[in-house]
């Protein structure tokens, strides 16, 4: 169904959804956002203590609560109704006439048969879980992930970095980031955080309040191998240190 939508139609649906979300926050005292954040906190706490009985109870209570909180949001209700309407409209059109697909080749037609290779990412997107790189030797692939809750640990001492620039990009809501960098690797770190602390190559920041930090080693611009780290956190600590 969504493959048949034009970009303009999808954009208008998203814009209306955002407007309804803002209206709910402004005129309904936060609407269901505050309960959703509370249940998300329960999920995070329960996930950390999932080995115990009360941890499991808190986790699943949070899961049930956040589902109902999300379904009661005006924006989510609108998106559900829009999806149903679009499904009915598209199904009705498909019954009236068969869809004819005509592939359109854009760009340089001499490269239409260009060979590309699909690779498995080093880390996947996960909303509720901790992640870390392998503790044994592994092949390096640039990291570009986002998540909601949990810790992320990346150890660069167990891999061979490329001869140019390795990239680590992490966008995360709640959790801690730990990145271990070998001594012979140059580093650039651009970190932004709403709440949290930072310990970056010996430079310590006790309290970050909606701040961005930018550090790089002295020879980063001229020496390889090097790694570029771009991270953003809603709430959590980051530690970048040599190993």
Residue extents of the structural domains in the chain: 2-96, 126-242
> 79, 20 in Cβ contact below 8 A?
no
Q: What is the dihedral of CA 143, 144, 149, 155, to 10 degrees?
A: 10
Residue 99 has pLDDT above 60, yes or no: no
Dump pLDDT digits (tens) for 168-193.
999 988 888 999 999 999 999 999 99
Residue 104: is its pLDDT beyond 60?
no
Give the model confidence (pLDDT) of 128-144 as tens digits: 667 788 888 888 889 89
The DSSP line for 97-111 is S---------S-GGG
- Alpha carbons 176 and 239: distance in angstroms, whole number: 8
CA dihedral 8, 14, 20, 23 (to 10 degrees): -90
What is the chain's mean pLDDT, rounded?
Answer: 82
pLDDT digits (tens, 9 = 90+) for 209-240: 889 999 999 999 999 899 999 999 988 899 99
């Amino acid at each position: 169904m969504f493959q048949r939508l034009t970009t303009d139609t999808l954009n208008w649906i998203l814009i209306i959804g955002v407007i309804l979300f803002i209206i709910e926050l402004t005129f309904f005292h936060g609407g269901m956002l505050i309960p959703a954040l509370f249940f998300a906190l329960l999920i995070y706490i329960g996930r950390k203590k999932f080995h115990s009985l009360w941890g499991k109870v808190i986790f699943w209570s949070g899961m049930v609560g956040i589902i109902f909180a999300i379904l009661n949001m005006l924006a989510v209700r609108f998106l559900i109704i829009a999806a149903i309407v679009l499904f009915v409209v598209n199904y009705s059109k498909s019954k009236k006439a068969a869809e004819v697909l005509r592939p359109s080749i854009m760009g340089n037609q001499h490269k239409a048969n260009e060979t590309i290779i699909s690779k498995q990412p080093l880390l996947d997107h996960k909303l509720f879980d901790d992640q870390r790189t392998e503790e044994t030797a592994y092949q390096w692939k640039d990291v570009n992930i986002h998540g909601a809750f949990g810790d992320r640990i990346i150890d660069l001492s167990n891999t061979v970095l490329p001869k140019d620039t390795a990239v680590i990009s992490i966008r995360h809501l709640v959790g801690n980031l730990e990145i271990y960098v070998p001594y012979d690797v140059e580093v650039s770190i651009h970190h932004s955080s709403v709440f949290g602390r930072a310990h970056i190559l010996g430079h310590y920041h006790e309290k970050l309040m909606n701040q961005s930090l930018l550090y790089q080693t002295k020879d980063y611009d001229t020496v390889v191998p090097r790694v570029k780290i771009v991270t953003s956190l809603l709430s959590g600590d980051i530690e970048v240190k040599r190993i």
